[in-house]
Amino acid sequence: MSSPRALALHDELRARGERITKARRAVLDVLADTDEHLTTEELLSAVNRAEPDVHRATVYRTVDRLAELGIVEHTHLGHGPAVYHLANDLHQHLVCESCGRITEVPMAILRGVERRLHDEYGFTMSPMHFSIVGRCQRCRDEAEHA
């Protein structure tokens, strides 16, 4: 039931000397199968639908490992737990502090800051780990008409 995308990841992992277990397979299957950003708790539920015995601690350890390997990334959308997703397709998250809507924007939006931080501060920015908080168009409009 693993998608082609998941299968490719299995191969990559094996090539890097990692073991493919039923827990890891299930985690990768879930992540490869969705565009959502999942908390560990959501990930656990989804994994448990396929593999009821996989333990919460294993999910934590698995995403940690996958993160070290650069295969998953996590992001903080706000307070509360981090959300995980596959590491391809990097993008930046805008979170509306009013309605919670999440908008994904290309990393290119940050190129200017990236350049300035590098030139003026010698600081090399990593792909954004945190979201940008603010207010979306719709909520802004609503606020104006109030």
Applying CB under 8 A, which residues contact a copy of itself? 76, 94, 96-97, 103, 105, 109-110, 112-113, 116-117, 120-126, 128-137, 140
Q: How far is residue 59's CA from residue 65's CA, in Å, rounded to a whole number? A: 10
Q: Which residues 37-56 are close enough to bind DNA by CB under 7 A?
A: 39-41, 51, 53-56
Q: Which residues 72-111 are close enough to bind DNA by CB under 7 A?
A: 80-82
Can you name the residues that pair with 93 across neighbouring β-strands? 104
Q: Pick the piece of the chain touching DNA (CB under 7 A) from 36-44, 99-107, 118-126, 137-145.
A: 36-44
Smallest distance, a copy of itself to C-beta of residue 46, A: 23
Pick between residue 62 and residue 92 the one whose CB is nearest to DNA: 62
